[in-house]
């Protein structure tokens, strides 16, 4: 086969956007397109806080890759990437004896938790990262609650104290879901509601750092009204098996610590020899790794500077999707001899859900709150299903 | 108050039958009737294997005591009995500074697990005993499954290996439910069905010892067809944190061991100085503790000999209910100066469910199998709700 080989690593927002775009734009005889992903499914990362809290069946956050790829145009390999060898233009896979050759590589391998050096975090905290992880969070919380009546009274409080580290988007969305789930857990396990504590701890001087103050206040008031305790300006110093130690020495006992405090790039990118900052690669205007015209990096492992404030755009689904679209255009241009188009991020808006009954955020320049915001957020979820799987998938997964 | 004091300990089948009978038969000025129970609810022990497996919402196996007692006639105390002082005719309660005086005491405090001296069983096994316990079993199993994809491959098998010790009624009914739940757990946690093992281990040379052979064969074939592994003639020698060691030394690794191998009487009865055999009291013909005309013992702590084979009747809901009815008659006779009636057990039948789709057993002298048996079993559950709470409760709890 003499066709140029395009290999896409990861079926996240960026990777799937690339794949579905390529299979739409390219003819069968233009390139050999391969997708590698460790699971046979894509999961909707922006919804993971819901199955983590137990308010959504994890299947609603999952899309089988076989349902969205066109097998005549894309080859899917379910495997784990173990090494990117840019000098030989190969990718090593855990389950394959031969490495996978590429002419063009698109890396969309997502992120890893950023622990900021907090002792014990990787060992003792949970992370909202993938379907297996969030199912475990949900089961872990339920298991703690189920033991409430069977342990000594002095041990009960920590079983039903849940600490969420980080009050960024994921943290806020997760506590929003969880605080809606708690009354149900209390009924199910005969635990008085007032015994359960949900504490959101944030090192920055505000919840949702960098976000509009009016919206932040709305979120905080809403969630405090439901019983969430916020501790801002409060770095966690250590995460232990049975809770956390805050800066200054205060200890909070808790059987469940979920860390949402930040992400860094995937270590495979770092290990490949590409220059990174906290695992993320400052890509060129075409989203390529500096000095590597054949490697595009999209999603959480890429770093794009917002020229307005000279700070990196935060890693979001929205930017990953737009990056995927850009890579598709540019790969088609390369194959067909056209000219490439620089990547420019268009922020359409930002919406954070606050559990099953409210949300808030900015759409265009307008602030929105409450049920309308929630409906918009859910429509936006449906839009993603529509993009990758058409109307059928959008209908199947849509839940208001 | 000069009224005779009747105190009923425990709101199980026997205790509730006694209470609902007394409040029907007695006038308000004939006796002061008190019920003591540690929970504010009764649970239907014969259904506990279902919430333990996760196939039934635990609330369907629970009845609030306030919904079935007539507060004008019965006083309910939610407390834990710590001591029965038969010499002073008092019962000590954990939460009360003054002991509770009685003239007539009805003990229906249920059973404790019989471990037959198996090392580590009390520490490491689960028991199908009460609502809190079965919720924990369900959550424990789910929690193990949720970790499957997150542990090293060498550790996975034991997470999804479940051992049920004892193949008596509870053991068989539990594996029947669980084997129906497993496919659902496998879908939920993306685990291949063939990886999950459900092993029922029994020391006796047969499943359901003492039961009709044809019915035993039916149950075993049905359950084996669904994937249950039976190990009969196989005593468990030790129960460890990570599995069991069988007689002869074979070890089976398992994250979940549920023991259903037998019960003994409640230790409070033994500690009160009444003579017991494995915690159970060989009661007289009126169900009284030998030498104590004021103490009736019913349910799992009482021992009644079947004159046909000179062996004790096994402790069942059926016998406890009939004992409750007998005690009501005899207490009324004592209060009104009538003559007491000896207890005689009438075995109406025995039905064991085999999951959500089948059951088997004997009704009268007839063997029944499959769906008809299951329907009869469920009607029998409904009958109990009807007896204690009337048609409204029966309708509310009935599920075919």
Q: Choosing among B39, B58, B125, B142, which should be mutated to test the A contact, i.e. which has the most A CBs within 10 A?
A: B142
> Do A142 and B143 make contact, defined as CB atoms within 8 angstroms?
yes
> Average pLDDT, stretch B271-281?
93
Question: Is the dihedral angle over the CA atoms A188, A189, A191, A193 positive or is it negative?
Answer: negative
> Average pLDDT, stretch B97-123?
96
CB-CB contact of B200 with B224 (8 Å)? no
Residue A2 has pLDDT above 90, yes or no: no
> Do B132 and A143 make contact, defined as CB atoms within 8 angstroms?
no
The structure tokens listed for A176 are: 């929003």
How far is the alpha carbon of B152 from chain A, nearest alpha carbon, in Å? 14
DSSP string for residues in B75-101? EEEE--EEEEETTTTEEEETT-SSPEE
The tens digit of pLDDT for each residue in B296-343 reads: 999 999 999 999 999 999 999 999 999 999 999 999 999 999 999 999
Question: Is the dihedral angle over the CA atoms A26, A30, A31, A33 positive or is it negative?
Answer: positive
Nearest CA in chain A to B187: A59
The answer to whether A135 contacts chain B (CB < 8 Å) is: yes
Nearest CA in chain A to B190: A132
Minimum-distance CB partner of B150 among A136, A148, A188: A136
Q: ipTM score here? A: 0.79
> Average pLDDT, stretch B38-49?
95
Contact list, B139 vs chain A (CB under 8 Å): 139, 142-143, 145-146
pLDDT of residue A400: 61
pLDDT of residue B210: 86
Residue B241 has pLDDT above 60, yes or no: yes
The answer to whether A149 contacts chain B (CB < 8 Å) is: yes
Contact list, B133 vs chain A (CB under 8 Å): 150
> Average pLDDT, stretch B94-122?
95
Q: Which CATH class is domain B121-259?
A: alpha beta
The tens digit of pLDDT for each residue in A269-313 reads: 999 999 999 899 999 999 999 999 999 999 999 999 999 999 999
Choice among B32, B50, B173, B177 that is catalytic = B173
CB pairs under 8 A between A and B: 51
The structure tokens listed for A85 are: 């060898």
Contact list, B149 vs chain A (CB under 8 Å): 132
Q: Where does CATH 3.50.50.60 sit in chain B?
A: 121-259
Residue B400 has pLDDT above 90, yes or no: no
Residue A399 has pLDDT above 80, yes or no: no
* B308 or A8, higher pLDDT: A8
User: Could you tell me what percent of chain A has a pLDDT over 70?
Assistant: 99
The answer to whether A143 contacts chain B (CB < 8 Å) is: yes
Minimum-distance CB partner of A150 among B132, B143, B189: B132
CB-CB contact of B180 with B356 (8 Å)? yes
Q: Where does CATH 3.50.50.100 sit in chain A?
A: 5-113+263-346
The tens digit of pLDDT for each residue in A101-138 reads: 999 999 999 999 999 999 999 999 999 999 999 999 99
The answer to whether A146 contacts chain B (CB < 8 Å) is: yes
3-state secondary structure chain A: CCCCEEEEECCCHHHHHHHHHHHHHCCCCCCEEEEEECCCEEECHHHCHHHHHCCCCHHHHEEEHHHCCCCCCEEEEECCEEEEECCCCEEEECCCCCCEECCEEEECCCEEECCCCCECHHHHCEECCCHHHHHHHHHHHHHHHHCHHHCCHHHHHHHCEEEEECCCHHHHHHHHHHHHHHHHHHHHHCCCHHHCEEEEECCCCCCCCCCCHHHHHHHHHHHHHCCEEEECCCCEEEEECCEEEECCCCEEECCEEEECCCEEECHHHHHCCCCCECCEEECCCCCECCCCCCEEECHHHEECEECCCCEECCCCHHHHHHHHHHHHHHHHHHHHCCCCCCCCCCCCEEEEECCCCCEEEEECCEEEEHHHHHHHHHHHHHHHHHHHHHHHHHHHHCCC
The answer to whether B142 contacts chain A (CB < 8 Å) is: yes
> Average pLDDT, stretch B363-367?
92
Residue B1 has pLDDT above 70, yes or no: no
Contact list, A188 vs chain B (CB under 8 Å): 58, 135
pLDDT of residue A9: 98
The tens digit of pLDDT for each residue in B62-100 reads: 999 999 999 999 999 999 999 999 999 999 999 999 999
| Alpha carbon separation from A303 to A11, A300, A310 (Å, rounded) | 19, 8, 12
C-alpha angle A190-A194-A195 in degrees, rounded to nearest 5: 65
> Do B136 and A146 make contact, defined as CB atoms within 8 angstroms?
yes
The tens digit of pLDDT for each residue in B338-358 reads: 999 999 999 999 999 999 999
> Do B150 and A142 make contact, defined as CB atoms within 8 angstroms?
no
pLDDT of residue A391: 85
| Alpha carbon separation from A283 to A14, A312, A342 (Å, rounded) | 15, 11, 11
Minimum-distance CB partner of B147 among A136, A148, A189: A136
User: Could you tell me what percent of chain B has a pLDDT over 70?
Assistant: 99
How far is the alpha carbon of B135 from chain A, nearest alpha carbon, in Å? 6
The answer to whether A58 contacts chain B (CB < 8 Å) is: yes
The tens digit of pLDDT for each residue in A49-93 reads: 999 999 999 989 999 999 999 999 999 999 999 999 999 999 999
Contact list, A131 vs chain B (CB under 8 Å): 190
The answer to whether A140 contacts chain B (CB < 8 Å) is: yes
CB-CB contact of B18 with B26 (8 Å)? no
pLDDT tier, B187 (very low <50, low <70, confident <90, very high otherwise): very high
Q: What are phi and psi of B340, to 5 degrees?
A: -75, 160
DSSP string for residues in B307-326? TTTTEEPPP-HHHHHHHHHH
Residue B398 has pLDDT above 80, yes or no: no
Residue B189 has pLDDT above 90, yes or no: yes
CB-CB contact of A136 with A287 (8 Å)? no
Contact list, B140 vs chain A (CB under 8 Å): 143, 146
Active site residue B251: no
The answer to whether B156 contacts chain A (CB < 8 Å) is: no
Q: Mean pLDDT in chain A? A: 95
| Half-sphere exposure of residue B51: CA atoms within 13 angstroms, side-chain side | 25
> Average pLDDT, stretch A255-278?
94
Nearest CA in chain A to B59: A188
How far is the alpha carbon of A73 from chain B, nearest alpha carbon, in Å? 28
The answer to whether A138 contacts chain B (CB < 8 Å) is: yes
CATH tag for A5-113+263-346 (out of 3.30.70.600, 4.10.320.10, 3.50.50.100, 3.20.20.70): 3.50.50.100
pLDDT tier, B232 (very low <50, low <70, confident <90, very high otherwise): very high
> Do B135 and A146 make contact, defined as CB atoms within 8 angstroms?
yes
| Alpha carbon separation from A129 to A237, A245, A300 (Å, rounded) | 22, 24, 12
pLDDT of residue B391: 85
């Amino acid at each position: 086969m003499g066709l140029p080989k395009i290999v896409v690593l990861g079926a996240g927002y960026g990777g799937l956007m690339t794949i579905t775009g390529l299979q739409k734009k390219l003819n069968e005889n233009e390139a050999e397109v391969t997708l590698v992903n460790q699971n046979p499914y894509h999961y909707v990362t922006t919804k993971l806080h819901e199955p983590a809290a137990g308010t959504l069946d994890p299947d609603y956050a999952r899309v089988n890759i076989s349902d969205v790829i066109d097998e005549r145009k894309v080859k899917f390999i379910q495997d784990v990437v173990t090494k990117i060898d840019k000098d030989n233009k190969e990718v090593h896979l855990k389950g394959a004896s031969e490495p996978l050759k590429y002419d063009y590589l698109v890396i969309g391998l997502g992120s890893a938790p950023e622990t900021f050096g907090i002792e014990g975090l990787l060992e003792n905290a949970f992370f909202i990262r993938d379907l297996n992880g969030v199912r475990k969070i949900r089961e872990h919380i339920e298991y703690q609650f189920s033991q409430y009546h069977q342990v000594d009274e002095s041990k009960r409080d920590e079983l039903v104290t849940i600490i969420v580290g980080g009050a960024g988007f994921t943290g806020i969305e997760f506590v929003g879901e969880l605080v809606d789930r708690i009354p149900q857990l209390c009924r199910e396990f005969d635990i008085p509601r007032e015994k359960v504590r949900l504490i959101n701890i944030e090192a920055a001087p505000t919840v949702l750092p960098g976000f509009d103050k009016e919206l932040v206040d709305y979120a905080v008031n809403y969630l405090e009204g439901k019983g969430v305790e916020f501790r801002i300006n409060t770095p966690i110093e250590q995460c232990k098996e049975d809770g956390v130690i805050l800066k200054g020495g205060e200890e909070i006992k808790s059987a469940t610590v979920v860390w949402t405090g930040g992400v860094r790039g995937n270590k495979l990118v770092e290990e490949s020899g590409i220059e990174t900052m906290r695992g993320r690669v400052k890509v060129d205007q075409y989203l390529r790794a500096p000095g590597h015209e054949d490697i595009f990096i999209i999603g959480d492992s890429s770093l794009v500077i917002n020229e307005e404030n000279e700070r990196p755009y935060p890693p979001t689904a929205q930017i990953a999707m737009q990056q995927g679209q850009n890579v598709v255009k540019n790969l088609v241009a390369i194959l067909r001899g056209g000219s490439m188009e620089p990547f420019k991020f268009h922020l359409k808006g930002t919406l954070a859900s606050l559990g099953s009954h409210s949300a808030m955020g900015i759409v265009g320049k307008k602030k929105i709150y409450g049920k309308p915001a929630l409906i918009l957020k859910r429509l936006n979820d449906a839009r993603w299903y529509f993009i990758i799987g058409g109307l059928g998938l959008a209908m199947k997964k849509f839940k208001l």
